[in-house]
Amino acid sequence: MPTRPWTADTLWAAVLAVLSVYFAFPNITECLLALPLCASLAIRRTFPAVALAVGAVSAAAQAWLLPQLNLSVVAVLVMVYSLRRWSGRTLGLIGLGIALVGAVAAPMIRLDGSSAKDIATTALSSSLVVLTVYGFGLRVREREEAALVSARAEAAEERSEIAREVHDIVAHSLSLIAVQAEGGRSLVSRNPDRATEILDVIADESRKALNEIREMVSLLRRGGLPDDQRGSAAIRELVERVGDRAALTITGEINPALGFTTYRVIQEALTNFLRHAGPKATVEVKVAVDAEKAEITVRDNGNGTAAATDGKGHGLTTMRERVQSHGGTMTAGPQLDGGYRVHAVIPVGAPKEASLLSGRAQGAGRRAQGAGRRAQGAGRRAQGAGRRAQGRSYLADEQVSDSRVT
């Protein structure tokens, strides 16, 4: 409903009142009876119950006192439509009932002495017009409510996707920084000269996380879709950041439509590995892609069921939401022979691509748009992978030997 509906309603009520008086003049009684019926339209959305009462009394007075219809009777149809569209079911049904009673009673009063067939025909025709107008108002109301529900659902999904992006960026970067800091603490105590290298690694990770947050904020301000679609190069760089403790195997060509989700699933799995597996654990990442599906497996030989957790994390939830948005499945949990395993299967050509602002699209089909745009910038993000990887592998041996790393 417009923020100031009475302005337009008053204008239309005034126009109808002028026309009604024009055609009724010089019959003063007819002119006076037309005015309150037209005036009720001015408050049909702001005070619908009052408008209904005024309109009903005015229409009944016209039916009883006037020998013929006045142009102001159009207000009855407008009232029926308005009550159903803007005032809800109850008031709409009351208005419909009153209008139908009037549609039947008015011909019986005005056509007194006519044949029953003429009265019935007029009453039936009037009732059909009233029902048609009511149905039109109902249809418009249903469409508006459906659009509102859809908009709210899209907004909720948009917020959820933004939360996933923030979680993935911040959680992974901070986990990696924490591991580097813990491993470097013992290294510096034995070799102070390497403190600069450790701080460079931590600073690099911090800058990378900050840049990703800035990019996301910029996208939110522009209201656009991410142009990031990370492929094999970005995934290799991601795994290399963990150091010698991680190994990667990629079989097949990663589908461009699934590159971003594949990257995020692996990123979150590695984050959990760094946080919970322990300092001596290693992890193996496998990505197998064929014509039908992409299969992601991340398995470590760490603490497994013995891993400490506060139960407040959302990593598994965000991973599962991403995979399910493509019609895929995901399982995660400790293994009987030790360690922890994350396994996801995503169909190729799935219904939609997880993206930061997909809620702005019209449904799942629109979310898939922009898949090509995400490929832009993949090379830019892959640049410097070798530079960032340098200086990290030297921490692996120290982390393995240092029991104080958590």
pLDDT digits (tens, 9 = 90+) for 252-274: 888 777 888 888 889 888 888 88
Query: Does the predicted TM-score (pTM) go above 0.85?
Result: no
Residue 166 is which amino acid?
V
Helix (H) or strand (E) holding 286: strand 283-289
pLDDT at position 132 is 94
Can you read off the two tokens belonging to residue 296? 């992601």
Contact residues for 367 (Cβ-Cβ < 8 A; gap 6+): 352, 353, 355, 358, 361
247 three-class SS: strand
Whole-angstrom Cα distance, residue 327 to residue 258? 12
- pLDDT band for 181, please (50, 70, 90 cuts): confident
The model's pLDDT over 285-300, given as tens digits with 9 standing for 90+, comes to 999 998 888 999 999 9
Whole-angstrom Cα distance, residue 350 to residue 147? Answer: 25
In DSSP terms, 346 is beta-bridged to 294
Instruction: List the alpha helices (DSSP H) in 40-115.
Output: 48-65, 74-86, 89-110
- Both tokens of 81, joined, read 């439509």
Roughly what angle, to the nearest 10 degrees, separates helices 48-65 and 28-39?
160
Place of tokens 């656009």: 224
Tell me the average pLDDT across 86-92.
Answer: 88
Rg (CA), the chain: 35
- Phi/psi zone of residue 370: left (φ > 0), alpha (ψ -120 to 50 degrees), beta? left
Q: Look at phi and psi of residue 338 and say left if phi exceeds 0, alpha if psi is from -120 to 50, else beta.
A: left
360 falls in which pLDDT band (50, 70, 90)? very low
pLDDT tens digits, residue range 299-348?
999 876 555 555 555 668 878 888 888 889 999 989 888 889 999 999 98
Query: Which residue has tokens 């960032």?
Result: 388
Q: If you ran DSSP here, which 8-state letter would residue 304 be given?
A: G
Domains identified in the chain and CATH numbers: 5-110 (no CATH), 155-401 (3.30.565.10)
